[in-house]
Amino acid sequence: MGVTIRTAGRSDVERLDQALAALARDLGDAYHVSPGALERAGWGEVPAFRAQLAEEEGALAGLVLYSPGFSTVRGGSGLYVSDLWVAGTQRSGGLGRRLLAAAYGDAAQAWGACFLRLQVYDRTPAARRFYDRLGFVPAKGHTDLFLDEAGCAALEGER
């Protein structure tokens, strides 16, 4: 039968949660998302993400979770891939590439995406080699900055 890829729907929240938790375990990251939070973010009034699920005979094989972004420098919409996970048994078979292609195709149709952006951990050289083989290049001339929950609360108090 092979691996199939499809756009995740609201009924897939538990599967998304399982795949994202597996990714966090694989990376040694904390995992703070609940199925309820995923459902609200993905299928609320203004969806914050879309996802593609890969399955083989009903078993989870992979996931890509992505959000829209807009760049005046690039002249249009793009997608930001926040999470890409491929089950250990599926690695090195092209599934990661297929998941990224499915995400890009969906984003191009949904909001006219013309570029793809993501981040890769410095501590995951195999992932970096994968992205390098696909033609990704490091961003130059800027630094990613984050404002944590406390910082956002303080900023909100400035309104």
pLDDT at 72 over 70: yes
- Number of structural domains in the chain: 1
- The pLDDT tens digits for 82-104 are 999 999 888 888 999 999 999 99
pLDDT in tens, 119-145: 998 999 999 999 999 999 998 888 888
Instruction: Give the domain range for residue 144.
Output: 4-156
pTM greater than 0.75 = yes
Tell me what pLDDT residue 20 has.
Answer: 96
Task: Give pLDDT tens digits for 33-59.
Answer: 999 999 999 999 999 999 999 999 989
Pairing of strands 59-71, 76-86: antiparallel
